Amino acid sequence: MKRDMELIRKILLQIEEKCDGMGAYSIDSIDGYSYEQLYTHFCLIKEAGLLHNPKILMGGELIVDRLTNTGYDFLEKIRNDQIWEQTKTEIKNKKYPETIEFISKIAGVFFGNLLGNIN
C-alpha cells in the first residue's frame, strides 16, 4: 500500500476536531478509505510521533488521546487548504519526496509567504 499524505492530513484534522483531551477518541472511518488504509496510516502517524497515547485495541479499534505538540505543529502548517494544495503541487512538479518532514518544510515556506503577504 502506498502512503497517502491526503489521508494522513484527514486523520490529523479529524483527531483535532473530535478529541477533547479528556479521554480516548476512536477513529471510526473516513469516507472513501478502507479500514486497512486507516490502520496503516494510523500506524505511520504513530511512528512519526504525531499522536499522544495511540493504541490499537484487540478488536482493531484505533484509539488516541490527542495530537502531540509535534502533531499540532505539522497540522498547523498543512491545515490551510490553499497551502496544502500549493505544497502538493510543488512536491509533485519538482518530484520532491513525500515525507512528513519534507512536506512540513515546503508547507512552512508557503505558510511564511502567506504571513509575509499579511504585513
**pLDDT by residue (tens digit) across 70-109?**
999 999 999 999 999 999 999 999 999 999 999 999 998 8
State the residue range of the domain holding 94: 73-118
- Using the 3D structure, point to which of 43, 67, 91 is the last residue of a domain: 67
Q: What is the structure's pLDDT at 98? A: 93
Q: What is the structure's pLDDT at 43? A: 96
- Using the 3D structure, point to which of 25, 41, 67 is the last residue of a domain: 67
**Distances in Å between the alpha carbon of 95 and those of 36, 105, 118?**
27, 15, 30
Same domain, 41 and 83: no
Same domain, 12 and 58: yes
Q: What is the DSSP letter of 71?
A: H
Same domain, 33 and 49: yes
Q: What is the DSSP letter of 58?
A: T
Number of domains in the chain: 2
Mapped onto helix, strand or coil, the DSSP state of residue 29 is coil
Please work out, in degrees rounded to the nearest 5, the angle formed at the alpha carbon of residue 48 by the alpha carbons of 89 and 28: 85
User: pLDDT tens, 19-62?
Assistant: 877 778 888 889 999 999 999 999 999 999 999 999 999 888 99
Same domain, 9 and 62: yes
